[in-house]
């Protein structure tokens, strides 16, 4: 593990982060250039352990203005991801942020969950009281559509679960795509899957939804397993969270400790770390230097018998479809000359930079 842990302190956080710039510059605002306006996001989650940490990170980051958090089925069914999302928003002290429930099932497939990682309750078995916060009076699709339409070109959608809600929003209004600033997704991989050899979990659960998103014409950023599996949180960070004794740090520590024990039990091993897939995706929006992005042409496999949900990523401008059948219709040909990059794909990550951002945000007193 890197040395980031010993390097950071609240002081260094306050000294370095843009959040601190906002906070500490206020009394001298007249003499400093204005801080950039926060990036406006809707966070769509299948909460989920790493989703929970991603929600806490987003809501504790002044560089982001979280307009809504929406829930979808994935790691566990919607009946659990929605209350888990409400809990996290409440624990972050941000009950002002609307939370809406969305799709209970993928577009055309049966729901496959990941309770083997996230526990039966989606929070690694860590128990929390029922949330007091209630879901907003609109569905996720209605809420996403309304916020985007009222703020054309302003809203980034951050999808860290199966993309069912996002795809349904795009399908429900053909004009919506051109009003979304960007869609940033945790999903896919340049280096093979985590639920099948081909597919990453979020795209495996709803490949058709992922395909709609990549084909939508909205600028897409894909943060896949090839980078997220390099940001591994373990004992060092959990102890740090436990010592901080704030509601956010205590909740995060409780979820993470319980999950690592749960993963180990399920496999008959002592698990030591857990990848911070979703928090890394949120962190990219706070500090874009954590990830290196490259232009790709990405297609999502939807018809493969064994490979549905695979992100077939061509380093632009190369592209080639499967060989046409010798009988029947050959189908459309894909030629390099015809394709345009449709996504920026994360190809490298600086794990130290990521943890130097994440930990102070989760442990700061307020
Ligand atoms: C993704 O799948 C989920 O289990 C995680 O929350 C993450 O979004 C990683 O494949
Ligand atoms: Ca997730």
Could you state, in order of their start, the residue ranges of all structural domains in the chain?
38-317+338-363
3-state class (DSSP) for residue 151: coil
- 162 DSSP 8-state letter: -
pLDDT at 26 (0 to 100): 37
pLDDT at 335 (0 to 100): 65
pLDDT digit string, tens, across residues 177-191: 999 999 999 999 999
Q: What is the mean pLDDT of residues 15-37?
A: 49
E strands present in the chain: 39-45, 64-71, 99-101, 155-159, 180-186, 220-223, 232-233, 274-275, 291-300, 311-315, 343-349
Is the pTM for the entire model greater than 0.85?
A: yes
CB of 48 closer than 6 A to ligand 1? Answer: yes
Nearest-10 crossing angle of helices 277-286, 49-59: 20
Tokens standing for 166?
């996002």
Please state which of the ranges 5-9, 291-295, 307-311 shows the lowest mean pLDDT. Answer: 5-9
CB of 44 closer than 6 A to ligand 1? Answer: no
Which atom of ligand 1 lies at the shortest distance from residue 161's CA?
A: 8
Q: Ligand 2 center to residue 71 CA distance, Å?
A: 10
CB distance 198 to 151 below 8 Å: no
From 43, 54, 160, mutation site for ligand 1 pocket: most ligand atoms within 8 A of C-beta: 160
Label residue 62 by pLDDT band (50, 70, 90).
very high
CB of 51 closer than 6 A to ligand 1? Answer: yes
Label residue 32 by pLDDT band (50, 70, 90).
low
Does residue 27 carry a pLDDT above 90? Answer: no
Label residue 271 by pLDDT band (50, 70, 90).
confident
CB of 277 closer than 6 A to ligand 1? Answer: yes
Which run of H or of E encompasses 317? none
Which atom of ligand 1 lies at the shortest distance from residue 51's CA?
A: 6
Does residue 280 carry a pLDDT above 60? Answer: yes
Q: Ligand 2 center to residue 250 CA distance, Å?
A: 21
Does residue 318 carry a pLDDT above 90? Answer: no
The residue whose C-alpha atom lies closest to atom 4 belonging to ligand 1 is 75
pLDDT at 15 (0 to 100): 30
Q: Which of 238, 227, 363, 209 is nearest to 300 (CA)?
A: 209
Which atom of ligand 1 lies at the shortest distance from residue 118's CA?
A: 4
3-state class (DSSP) for residue 123: coil
CB distance 361 to 240 below 8 Å: no
Does residue 332 carry a pLDDT above 50? Answer: yes
CB of 301 closer than 6 A to ligand 1? Answer: no
3-state class (DSSP) for residue 280: helix
CB of 160 closer than 6 A to ligand 1? Answer: yes
Label residue 9 by pLDDT band (50, 70, 90).
very low
pLDDT at 313 (0 to 100): 95
Q: Ligand 1 center to residue 52 CA distance, Å?
A: 11
pLDDT at 247 (0 to 100): 97
The mean pLDDT value of the chain amounts to 90
Tokens standing for 5?
């842990």
Active site residues: 277
pLDDT at 163 (0 to 100): 99
Q: Which of 39, 363, 74 is nearest to 195 (CA)?
A: 74
CB of 75 closer than 6 A to ligand 1? Answer: yes
Label residue 337 by pLDDT band (50, 70, 90).
low
CB of 309 closer than 6 A to ligand 1? Answer: no
Which atom of ligand 1 lies at the shortest distance from residue 114's CA?
A: 4
Q: How many residues does the chain have?
A: 366
Q: Ligand 2 center to residue 27 CA distance, Å?
A: 39
Q: Which of 276, 273, 292, 296 is nearest to 350 (CA)?
A: 292
Distances (CA, A) of 53 to 133, 198, 275: 18, 26, 11
Which atom of ligand 1 lies at the shortest distance from residue 194's CA?
A: 10
Q: What is the mean pLDDT of residues 6-21?
A: 33
pLDDT at 270 (0 to 100): 76
CB distance 39 to 156 below 8 Å: yes
Distances (CA, A) of 6 to 236, 349, 355: 10, 20, 11
Alpha helix positions (H), 121-206: 140-150, 164-172, 201-205
From 43, 47, 51, mutation site for ligand 1 pocket: most ligand atoms within 8 A of C-beta: 51
> Percent of the chain scored above 70 by pLDDT?
89
Q: Ligand 2 center to residue 202 CA distance, Å?
A: 7
Label residue 2 by pLDDT band (50, 70, 90).
very low
Q: Write down the CATH superfamily of domain 38-317+338-363.
A: Ribonucleoside hydrolase-like (3.90.245.10)
Does residue 158 carry a pLDDT above 80? Answer: yes
Label residue 155 by pLDDT band (50, 70, 90).
very high
> Percent of the chain scored above 90 by pLDDT?
80
Does residue 279 carry a pLDDT above 80? Answer: yes
CB of 206 closer than 6 A to ligand 1? Answer: no
pLDDT at 30 (0 to 100): 45
pLDDT at 43 (0 to 100): 99
Label residue 339 by pLDDT band (50, 70, 90).
confident
pLDDT digit string, tens, across residues 90-137: 999 999 999 999 999 999 999 999 999 999 999 999 999 999 999 999
């Amino acid at each position: 593990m890197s040395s980031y842990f010993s390097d950071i302190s609240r002081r260094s956080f306050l000294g370095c982060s843009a959040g601190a710039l906002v906070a500490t510059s206020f009394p001298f605002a007249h003499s400093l250039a204005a801080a950039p306006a926060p990036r406006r996001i809707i966070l769509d989650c299948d909460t989920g352990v790493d989703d929970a940490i991603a929600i806490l990170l987003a809501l504790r980051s002044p560089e982001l203005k979280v307009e809504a958090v929406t829930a979808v089925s994935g790691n566990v069914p919607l009946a659990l991801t929605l209350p888990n999302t409400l809990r996290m928003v409440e624990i972050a002290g941000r009950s002002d942020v609307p939370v809406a429930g969305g799709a209970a099932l993928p577009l055309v497939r049966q729901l496959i969950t990941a309770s083997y990682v996230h526990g039966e309750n989606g929070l690694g078995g860590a128990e929390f009281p029922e949330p007091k916060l209630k879901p907003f009076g609109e569905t996720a699709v209605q809420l996403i559509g309304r916020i985007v339409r009222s703020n054309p070109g302003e809203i980034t959608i951050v999808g860290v679960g199966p993309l069912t809600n996002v795809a349904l929003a795009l399908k429900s209004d053909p004009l919506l795509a051109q009003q979304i600033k960007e869609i940033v997704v945790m999903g896919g991989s340049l280096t093979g899957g985590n639920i099948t050899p081909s597919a990453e979990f979020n795209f495996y659960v709803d490949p058709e939804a992922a395909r709609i998103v990549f084909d939508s014409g909205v600028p897409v950023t894909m943060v896949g397993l090839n980078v997220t599996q390099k940001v591994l949180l373990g004992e060092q960070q959990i102890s740090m969270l436990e010592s901080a004794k704030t509601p956010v740090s205590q909740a995060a520590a409780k979820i993470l400790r319980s999950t690592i024990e749960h993963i180990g039990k399920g496999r008959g091993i002592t698990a030591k770390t857990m990848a911070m897939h979703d928090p890394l995706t949120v962190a990219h929006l706070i500090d874009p230097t954590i990830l290196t992005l490259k232009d790709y042409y990405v297609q999502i496999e939807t018809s493969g018998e064994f490979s549905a949900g695979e992100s077939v990523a061509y380093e632009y401008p190369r592209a080639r479809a499967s060989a046409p059948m010798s009988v029947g219709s050959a189908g459309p040909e894909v030629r390099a000359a015809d394709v345009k990059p449709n996504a920026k794909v994360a190809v490298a990550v600086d794990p130290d930079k990521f943890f130097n951002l994440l930990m102070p945000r989760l442990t700061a007193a307020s």
